[in-house]
């Protein structure tokens, strides 16, 4: 597992990296989706999507990129909630991270940045949507999110089951995310301090 070294607001020059990560993560994490859906969400679609975002720069949305030194290895989006099916003000809209950066601090750090933006901009309480068959949605109950809406999302003519979660109170969420960050840092430190068996030198 590689380490994320920072997070910052995205800039236009990040758009190619964001689009590539978006496509790669959809194809890997959402491998359960029909090929027709994936074909509709190709690189050109994502590049156009994010170019439009930078052109509009909506003031009720935030786009962050996760970094390994200067390389963009993930991105995360928060926005005002405009979905009438769940009664909250904000939404954790997306968080996509390259596979070898998952499982450490990357996810919690991204979620904390999104939560802070939503809270500071009067967009709390908040929700997060996840496809039912997304293997990574287990993180949401782990940080206190409660399933509230069960429905199908229609993409390219296909009905894909999804779940809408209500985020816990802001202090509760941040405490749990911070705890996850600390735990991930401790695991990383222990991993670096533990000699690999094949590297042991016997006198």
pLDDT in the model for residue 184: 87
- In the chain, what are the domains? 6-189 (3.40.630.30)
Please list, in sequence order, all residues whose beta carbon lies within 8 angstroms of the beta carbon of residue 165, skipping any fewer than 6 positions away. Answer: 127, 128, 129, 130, 140, 141, 145, 146, 147, 148
pLDDT in the model for residue 201: 43
**10 near 75, Cβ under 8 Å?**
yes
Cα 166 to Cα 3, 123, 153, 154, 170, distances in angstroms:
29, 13, 18, 21, 11
pLDDT in the model for residue 194: 54
pLDDT in the model for residue 187: 81
pLDDT in the model for residue 203: 34
pTM of the model: 0.91
Please list, in sequence order, all residues whose beta carbon lies within 8 angstroms of the beta carbon of residue 163, skipping any fewer than 6 positions away. Answer: 129, 130, 131, 132, 137, 147, 149, 150
| Residue-by-residue pLDDT tens, the chain, 203 positions | 688 999 999 999 999 999 999 999 999 999 999 999 999 999 999 999 999 999 999 999 999 999 999 999 999 999 999 999 999 999 999 999 999 999 889 999 999 999 999 999 999 999 999 999 999 999 999 999 999 999 999 999 999 999 999 999 999 999 999 999 999 888 877 766 655 444 444 43
Compute the distance between CA of residue 36 and CA of residue 49 in angstroms, rounded to an integer.
18
């Amino acid at each position: 597992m590689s380490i994320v070294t920072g997070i910052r607001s995205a800039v236009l020059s990040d758009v190619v990296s964001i689009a590539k990560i978006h496509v790669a993560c959809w194809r890997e994490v959402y491998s359960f989706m029909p090929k027709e859906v994936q074909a509709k969400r190709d690189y050109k679609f994502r590049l156009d999507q994010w170019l439009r975002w930078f052109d509009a720069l909506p003031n009720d949305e935030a786009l962050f990129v996760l970094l390994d030194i200067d390389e963009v290895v993930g991105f995360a989006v928060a926005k005002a909630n405009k979905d009438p099916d769940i009664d909250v003000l904000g939404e954790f809209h997306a968080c996509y991270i390259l596979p070898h950066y998952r499982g450490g601090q990357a996810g919690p750090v991204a979620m904390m940045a999104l939560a802070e933006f939503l809270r500071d901009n009067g967009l709390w309480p908040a929700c997060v949507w996840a496809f039912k068959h997304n293997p990574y949605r287990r993180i949401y109950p782990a940080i206190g999110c409660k399933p509230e809406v069960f429905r199908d999302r229609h993409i390219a003519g296909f009905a894909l089951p999804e779940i809408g979660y209500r985020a816990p109170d802001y202090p509760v969420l941040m405490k749990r995310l911070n705890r996850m960050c600390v735990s991930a840092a401790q695991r990383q430190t222990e991993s670096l301090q533990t000699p690999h068996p094949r590297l042991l030198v016997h006198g």
